[in-house]
Amino acid sequence: MSKKIKIILTVGARPNFMKIVPLLHEMKKHPEFAPVLVHTGQHYDTNMSALFLEQFDIPEPDINLEVGSASHAVQTARIMERFEKVCIEENPQAVLVVGDVNSTAACTLAAAKLNIKTIHYEAGLRSGDKSMPEEINRLVTDAICDFFFTTLQDANENLIKEGHSENKIFMCGNLMIDSLLQNLKKSNDIDMQFKTLSGRTIRLKEDFVPGEYGVMTFHHPVNVDKKESLEELVDIWVKVSKKIPLVFPVHPRTRKNLRAFGFEDHIRSSARLFLIDSVGYLQFINLMKQAKFVLTDSGGIQEETTYLNIPCLTIRPCTERPVTIWQGSNKLIKVHEIMTEVQLILMSKGKTGEVPRFWDGQSAERIVKVLSEILKR
Ligand code: UD1
């Protein structure tokens, strides 16, 4: 029997799970692969990590580096230090990283210096905005990876412009959409009862009804770390919730800041602004697919709403996922434009779009096929 392809698949933060899981499931169908799942522990809360693994029906990671939270440099350094040891012990043929979080860049750096082949899924995305840590992570990762899997044509062009050779770049589609399609039906059966941060119990179909509520997510430092920016947002959330109920699963970073800046009372002043703990994947896609619109600063949600054809208002100056703007249902707007845009959506004038090429649920299959060819060489 020929030697197995030992490959380390890395995850660290919440948005990594939905990209790795379809790959892991697909590799298990191919006996030539021996995948090892390594969790860096960047995200560690149950709702940010364990609940995701449970809902995706995959076993505990083979190795957890348990790095936890710290400043960017410390978190990155801790991951590198611990991941280097894993690479030496496991001696894999390749390391595959996904997305743009600190874990992505740190694992790539550690593996590349040991001359292990490195592969980046979701390569080539560029916002051009280096004030976002994710952009730095993307640039660092792509500068040293050996192979690139992209989700859209712009990403191929960015990589070529940066000097990468075309035969190392593979556009095989979007793994997040694989996960979305695999879980849409399953999400119908999930319990949709939540506790708000003020202790009230709310239920879908009772306190907010399908098609007549908005979903929000905000956690990017530019929006939530400064008191003035967060205050401007809180004011708008309260105003919008007077027109339509808003459900907001709150990221731990945002929750901490809302409390520290003393905005919780203002939030409680609106009876239809529902702040809840961050939720699992199945609850989130159930919330999203029945929403009238989504208001966000997330990267991945811009793609999921494009697939679901739900108007998405993204509060950012730029996006690394331009296809969601020119082809999908996403719009980049400023905080002061939120109210006008929501009103347009309420008059059924929200943006609609189309699904980009290869966002079809077959991406893992295409990627694993390519991996088996390039890693056998
Ligand atoms: C990270 C990613 C971001 C991604 C986001 C999704 C980087 C640079 N950023 O941002 O791209 O969109 O994850 O969630 O990698 N915390 C908890 N519990 C947790 C995780 C975090 O309480 O399970 C708190 C920590 O106190 C920490 C803060 O949230 O200080 C931020 O966590 P961190 O992982 O540094 O960055 P995110 O903001 O989550």
Q: Tens digits of per-residue pLDDT, 268-282?
A: 999 999 999 999 999
- pLDDT at residue 57 in the model: 85
Q: How far is the CA of 102 from the centre of ligand 1 (A)?
A: 9
- pLDDT at residue 58 in the model: 84
CB-side neighbour CA atoms (13 Å) of 330: 29
Task: Answer yes or no: is the C-beta of 314 below 6 A from any ligand 1 atom.
Answer: no
Q: How far is the CA of 252 from the centre of ligand 1 (A)?
A: 8
Task: Answer yes or no: is the C-beta of 231 below 6 A from any ligand 1 atom.
Answer: no
Can you tell me the distance from the alpha carbon of 315 to that of 336, in angstroms, rounded to the nearest whole number? 10
Q: How far is the CA of 43 from the centre of ligand 1 (A)?
A: 6
Q: What is the pTM of this model?
A: 0.96
Task: Tell me which of 137, 220, 253, 254 to substitute to probe ligand 1's pocket, judged by most ligand atoms within 8 Å of the beta carbon.
Answer: 253
Task: Answer yes or no: is the C-beta of 13 below 6 A from any ligand 1 atom.
Answer: yes
CATH fold of the domain at 189-346: Rossmann fold (3.40.50)
Task: Tell me which of 219, 278, 304 to substitute to probe ligand 1's pocket, judged by most ligand atoms within 8 Å of the beta carbon.
Answer: 219
Q: Which residues are catalytic?
A: 219
Question: Per residue of the chain (377 residues), what is the pLDDT tens digit?
Answer: 578 999 999 999 999 999 999 999 999 999 999 999 999 999 999 999 999 989 998 889 999 999 999 999 999 999 999 999 999 999 999 999 999 999 999 999 999 999 999 999 999 999 999 999 999 999 999 999 999 999 999 999 999 999 999 999 999 999 999 999 999 999 999 999 999 988 999 999 999 999 999 999 999 999 999 999 999 999 999 999 999 999 999 999 999 999 999 999 999 999 999 999 999 999 999 999 999 999 999 999 999 999 999 999 999 999 999 999 999 999 999 999 999 999 999 999 999 999 999 999 999 999 999 999 999 86
Tokens of 270: 């609106």
Tokens of 244: 């339509």
Residue with CA at minimum distance from ligand 1 atom 22: 252
Q: CATH number of the domain at 5-174+359-374, please?
A: 3.40.50.2000
Task: Answer yes or no: is the C-beta of 261 below 6 A from any ligand 1 atom.
Answer: no
- pLDDT at residue 219 in the model: 97
Task: Report in angstroms the alpha-carbon separations of 162 from 36, 49, 122, 166, 186.
Answer: 31, 34, 16, 11, 41
Can you tell me the distance from the alpha carbon of 281 to that of 12, in angstroms, rounded to the nearest whole number? 16
- pLDDT at residue 198 in the model: 86
Q: How far is the CA of 317 from the centre of ligand 1 (A)?
A: 21
- pLDDT at residue 138 in the model: 98
- pLDDT at residue 377 in the model: 62
**Nearest atom within ligand 1 for CA of residue 45:** 23
Work out the end-to-end distance of the chain between its first and last CA atoms, rounded to an integer number of angstroms: 17
Residue extent(s) of CATH 3.40.50.2000 domains in the chain: 5-174+359-374, 189-346
CB count within 10 Å of CB 248 equals 22
Task: Answer yes or no: is the C-beta of 78 below 6 A from any ligand 1 atom.
Answer: no
- pLDDT at residue 59 in the model: 83
Planar angle of CA 355, 357, 359, nearest 5 degrees: 65
Beta-sheet strand order (sheet of 214-217): 273-277, 246-250, 214-217, 293-296, 312-315, 330-333
- pLDDT at residue 1 in the model: 55
Can you tell me the distance from the alpha carbon of 87 to that of 119, in angstroms, rounded to the nearest whole number? 14
